Structure 1
Amino acid sequence: MKTYINNENFLAGITVKENTNEENNTALHICQSIDVVQKNRQELAAQIGYTLDDFVCTQQTHSANFYKVTAADKGKGAYSLDTAIEDTDALYTYEKGIVLTSFTADCVPVILTNAKTGLIGVVHSGWQGSVKEITLKLLQHVILEGNNPRDLHITIGMALSQDKFEVDEDVYLKFKALGYADQFMYYNESTNKYHIDNQLTVKKQCELAGIPTEQITVDSTCTFNAINGFSYRQDKQCGRHLTFVVRK
């Protein structure tokens, strides 16, 4: 596990690939053994001082949909996909003791915290989520709920690097249509491919929401290149990282 935040208010981090059964995969939707994945999740829960009954998971669909979690949702998706919150790619809550989760393998995981209001949130932003501006939309929503953007802190977790994120023109045009992503893209004439920095695109979305740049942290680890990274580009049958945040 890689810890991103550990202070008096919040604990947040991301699981990493290891030399264990299923390589520490934590995703039920792509696994060889549900029992092994549940064991990996239980070990994570014990490591951070919670149980799987405190976890909340979603059925991610590369949407721009977000969901406000309450204590009544605890345990959803923790043991079975059937109970996961449907068609949702971002979660947030103000309540203590709820472990919000997101699963990625190249996509951008985003963590939100606000010590003044107790807000926590996680976002799964693959390229589809980024062009749908899921992070920006969630931020705009919580700002309307009373979160001052100057009090929000953002952690953008490990993801596919720009060098490895090569796409065809159709995806490039979707990012270009955003109107602010041109500086995060380049064209490689030798391969006829475009390269996009999805992390910096998401960072820009946070800045557009009013988050001060100095309150946005980016983990530049490339999931394709890193020995402890799960990369869908490298292996379509790979496991998933679990990004989590909990208010203590």
Structure 2
Amino acid sequence: MKINMYVNNEKFIAGMTMKDQAELENNNMALHACESTDHVLENRKNLATELHCELDDFVCANQTHSSNFHRVMLDDKGRGANQLNNAIADTDALYTFEPNVLLCSFTADCVPVIFYNEVNGLIGVIHSGWQGTVKEITLKLIEHLKLVEHCDANDLHVQIGAALSQRKFEVDEEVYLRFKALGYADDFMFYKEETHKYHIDNQLIVKRQCELAGIPAGQITIDQTCTYVNPDGFSYRQDKQSGRHLSFIMKKGE
């Protein structure tokens, strides 16, 4: 199974599953976008084996391109793991302090954000498509963690996963103006005269949101894999029937 492994140390394991022709449905991990739920569940079970955990340790949300987030508790374990109808509703970011819980986020061009706090053991995942980015889901969640969970942004480490590259992320003026209204995205957008399209670097705008929330730039890493260009990528823009990557993080138990 192809996995871009981002962190694997004594405390945390985090990564992103990639498209893999050797697996069922090319290693699709999404129950909401699949040919067969059995195939996806088989892929998820294989991932659990790779990560030395159980499928019932997974926690998944019903992602809606919102700016909503949810603190995962131990009784949330298994939600969305085997079926869609018990996934955490209308939520695009999950975080927890609990060990042995695999937080999951699904993407196919959108920006996955994985984060952890070395000091207090907090972990989280964020699904930030262009709508989530203009709604500032990452910035809002980090501000919430600082205010409500008493996290120091200086202790947070962020991994931005594989996503649609700026070269392939073309938008019309309507979407461009929503990014421009953020007030800090101009450096990450350009206009192409030949196509009359704007090109946006969603990964770098999410990185800027992390920095605005106080996370040191040196603690933010970006996976440069373009999900459209790279054969290991699922791209909704390229293929509306595409599967989904699963970005994950788990705090290892004592």
Which digits, 9 at most, give the CA deviation of each residue in 1:147-191, with x for residues without a partner?
111110000000000000000000000000000000000000100
- The residue aligned with 2:70 is 67
CA distance in structure 2 between the partners assigned to 1:115 and 1:169 by the alignment:
41
- The residue aligned with 1:190 is 194
Runs of 4+ that moved beyond 6 A: none
Alpha-carbon offset, residue 143 of structure 1 = 1.1
CA distance in structure 2 between the partners assigned to 1:155 and 1:21 by the alignment:
27
- The residue aligned with 1:49 is 52
CA distance in structure 1 between the partners assigned to 2:46 and 2:225 by the alignment:
24
- The residue aligned with 2:121 is 118
- The residue aligned with 2:93 is 90
Letter of the 2:108 partner, please give it: A
- The residue aligned with 2:10 is 8
Alpha-carbon offset, residue 11 of structure 1 = 0.3
Alpha-carbon offset, residue 21 of structure 1 = 1.9
Which residue, 225, 229, 241 being the options, matches 1:237? 241
Q: How does 1:1-248 map to 2 (within 5 A)?
A: 1-19=3-21, 20-144=23-147, 145-248=149-252
CA distance in structure 1 between the partners assigned to 2:93 and 2:15 by the alignment:
16
CA distance in structure 1 between the partners assigned to 2:55 and 2:140 by the alignment:
29
CA distance in structure 2 between the partners assigned to 1:101 and 1:141 by the alignment:
20
CA distance in structure 2 between the partners assigned to 1:134 and 1:128 by the alignment:
9
Instruction: State the identity as a percent.
Output: 63
Secondary structure of 1:130 counterpart: helix
Which digits, 9 at most, give the CA deviation of each residue in 1:83-130, with x for residues without a partner?
100000000000100000000000000011001111000000000000
Count of residue pairs brought into register by the alignment: 248
Letter of the 1:124 partner, please give it: H
Alpha-carbon offset, residue 146 of structure 1 = 1.2
CA distance in structure 2 between the partners assigned to 1:21 and 1:204 by the alignment:
37
Show structure 1 runs of 5+ residues with no match. Answer: none
173-182 vs 144-153, greater mean Cα deviation: 144-153
Which digits, 9 at most, give the CA deviation of each residue in 1:121-145, with x for residues without a partner?
0000000000000000010011112
Secondary structure of 2:205 counterpart: helix
Alpha-carbon offset, residue 2 of structure 1 = 1.3
Which digits, 9 at most, give the CA deviation of each residue in 1:49-69, with x for residues without a partner?
001110000000000000000
TM-score, normalised to structure 1, is: 0.99
TM-score, normalised to structure 2, is: 0.97
Secondary structure of 1:82 counterpart: coil
Letter of the 2:59 partner, please give it: V
CA RMSD of aligned residues (A): 0.5
Secondary structure of 1:91 counterpart: strand
Alpha-carbon offset, residue 72 of structure 1 = 0.3
